[in-house]
């Protein structure tokens, strides 16, 4: 069985709700894991050298282009080598942490992870996105329509014209309720959301593990 690639993007370490829910997934996962913590070891943002390296003969790379190409190759090889994926990406200011966007920009490369003719090599591989958020963003909430993280990642990670992963999203909500007196009335909703997220993460690990081991 190939490995699970776990990409962590929360800056909060052990205090991160997204990371805590991810641990419920990891606790039920029976197989090898490659873990990349972008908070501890962020990847560089895509640079002019990195873009130029993609369209320049490697024999003609400048030192800066060669260095940028090496970073991209490491990250892309790691991505393509996985059989399943776990993404820990909390909502920051209605969107994704910049470290995760930097990682995406490095791995989204035509001819490697993107193939607009035959479809991406990662098509159909199972993936789980865990994204905690401080408020509630479902229908009927004041924040409905302001989630610019999950829709974007469902397109980037799951659309057949991009990475084509079979993506399931887990969203523990109202994580600020225990810390903000004005939200205290929402603590029971937060606790229910969190418990459901832990349970869902564990079930997903079991089901995906069975499929990838078959």
At 210, the pLDDT band (50, 70, 90 cuts) reads: confident
Instruction: Kindly give, in sequence order, each residue whose CB lies less than 8 Å from that of residue 39, ignoring residues fewer than 6 positions away.
Output: 8, 9, 10, 11, 13, 99
For residue 1, pLDDT over 60 is answered with no
Average model confidence (pLDDT) for the chain? 96
Query: Residue 214's pLDDT is what?
Result: 65
The number of domains in the chain is: 1
Tokens of residue 12, six digits = 């909060």
Q: Kindly tell me the burial class for residue 142, based on how many C-beta atoms sit within 10 Å of its own C-beta (0-12, 13-18, 19 or more).
A: exposed
Residue owning tokens 């079979």: 166
Give the chain's end-to-end CA distance (angstroms, integer). 9
Instruction: Kindly give, in sequence order, each residue whose CB lies less than 8 Å from that of residue 195, ignoring residues fewer than 6 positions away.
Output: none
Residues 160-178 have pLDDT tens digits of 999 999 999 999 999 999 9
Instruction: Kindly give, in sequence order, each residue whose CB lies less than 8 Å from that of residue 98, ignoring residues fewer than 6 positions away.
Output: none
114-119, Cβ contacts within 8 angstroms, sequence gap of 24 or more: 114/162, 114/163, 116/161, 119/160, 119/164
Alpha carbon distances (Å) from 93 to 9, 133, 143: 14, 10, 12
Query: For residue 194, what are the domain limits?
Result: 4-213
Query: Residue 77's pLDDT is what?
Result: 97
Percent of the chain with pLDDT over 90: 96
For residue 20, pLDDT over 80 is answered with yes
Q: What is the CATH number for 34?
A: 3.40.50.360
Q: Kindly tell me the burial class for residue 130, based on how many C-beta atoms sit within 10 Å of its own C-beta (0-12, 13-18, 19 or more).
A: buried
């Amino acid at each position: 069985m190939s490995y699970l690639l776990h990409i962590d993007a929360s800056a909060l370490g052990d205090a991160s709700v997204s990371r805590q829910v991810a641990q419920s997934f990891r606790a039920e996962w029976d197989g090898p894991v490659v873990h990349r913590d972008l908070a501890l070891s962020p990847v560089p943002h895509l640079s002019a050298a990195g873009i130029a390296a993609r369209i320049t003969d490697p024999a003609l790379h400048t030192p800066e282009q060669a260095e940028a190409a090496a970073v991209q190759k490491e990250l892309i090889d790691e991505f393509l080598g996985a059989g399943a994926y776990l993404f820990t990406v909390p909502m920051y200011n209605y969107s994704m942490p910049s470290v995760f966007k930097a990682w995406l920009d490095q791995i989204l490369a035509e001819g490697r992870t993107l193939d607009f003719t035959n479809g991406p090599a990662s098509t159909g591989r199972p993936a789980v996105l865990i994204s905690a958020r401080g408020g509630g963003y479902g229908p009927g909430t004041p924040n409905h329509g302001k989630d610019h993280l999950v829709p974007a990642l469902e397109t980037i990670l799951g659309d057949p014209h991009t990475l084509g992963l079979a993506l399931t999203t887990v969203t523990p909500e109202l994580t600020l309720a225990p810390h903000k007196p004005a939200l205290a009335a929402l603590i029971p909703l937060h606790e229910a959301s969190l418990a459901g997220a832990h349970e869902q993460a564990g079930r997903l690990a079991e089901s995906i593990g069975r499929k990838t081991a078959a």
